[in-house]
Structure 1
């Protein structure tokens, strides 16, 4: 099973992420976002940022997850390539770590700036084999 794929969208970027668990799907969604920004295979998991979030449903939790990661990119130029998280669906909380390093133009390819997460086409589905997350980011 692939971790994520891009799909065509008129002005923005569509991402479809997959995972055997909800946590793996959220991790792959984040990886897809950072793959828009740079080649994540060149991002070393040197530093981490701890993240604690509450949401009112899974879609809101995903939105906040991606926005929080983009906040670290915008404020600290952090790019991430590894994610370790736990989601509690009863309390609708997410806690975890995002691993990466500060963007360095000599090492990391500068691709497209992701401005924000959106609710456009946002869905989280559980199939027989996996979770599928579909969403669009503003570029």
Structure 2
């Protein structure tokens, strides 16, 4: 793994991170309404274990945290799946520390694979979390996603994100995160996210409205 070069994160579906704690609930992939619309307690500083107070700040970040009986539900959105997925990963980082304390010291490139968008989203978030839980203990403050799909094992880049499903290989996504290595002397340690889950995961795409909403529960 190189801080200033491309990182091949490997097949995220293997989930072989030794430091990963908790497996989440992988048995459910429900398509019901979000668990709760009740917002968590918020502060005026930044998004971490709480929401920002202003509607403008929430819209700028493109994510919020919804209350859940045991874990935390992330709601993110964007003009398409890629933008909403990037916001979901940023929200995960923001729940673990105050994003305003994170400098853009270097970038890491990731690759993730999935047979559909749900498994792709899970794999993307798992890759980002695994690199926080182990070397280089990376915490990001900005995430950008470029999506790819495989056709006859040839990787095609889609600049304006357009996703097509291939029955053989499914989806491949590359994404870039800027940030730095987590440092307790610099970064406040908020909640500890143990794993991503499929529980009540929803990806709601409205191409006619150029909008995509993502709901994903993380195990804390």
1:40-59 matches, within 5 Å, as 40-59=99-118
**Residue of structure 1 in register with 2:205 after alignment:** 126
Contact 2:63/2:75 (<8 A) preserved: yes
Provide the TM-score with structure 2 as the length reference.
Answer: 0.60
Runs of 4+ in 1 over 6 A off after TM superposition: none
Offset of residue 21 of structure 1: 2.3
**Residue of structure 2 in register with 1:85 after alignment:** 145
Number of residue pairs matched by the alignment: 139
Task: Kindly name which structure, 1 or 2, has the bigger radius of gyration based on alpha carbons.
Answer: 2
Q: CA RMSD in A?
A: 1.3
- Mark the runs of 5 or more structure 1 residues left unpaired by the alignment: none
- Mark the runs of 5 or more structure 2 residues left unpaired by the alignment: 1-57, 149-162, 165-169
Offset of residue 107 of structure 1: 1.8
Whole-Å separation in 2 of the counterparts to 1:109 and 1:68? 22
1:61 aligns with 2:61: no
Whole-Å separation in 2 of the counterparts to 1:116 and 1:15? 13
Contact 1:15/1:32 (<8 A) preserved: yes
**Residue of structure 2 in register with 1:116 after alignment:** 195
Provide the TM-score with structure 1 as the length reference.
Answer: 0.93
Offset of residue 87 of structure 1: 1.5
Whole-Å separation in 2 of the counterparts to 1:53 and 1:34? 18
Contact 2:80/2:205 (<8 A) preserved: no
1:23 aligns with 2:82: yes
Query: Per the alignment, in what secondary structure is the counterpart of residue 111 of structure 1?
Result: coil
Q: Which moved more, 1:65-74 or 1:34-43?
A: 34-43
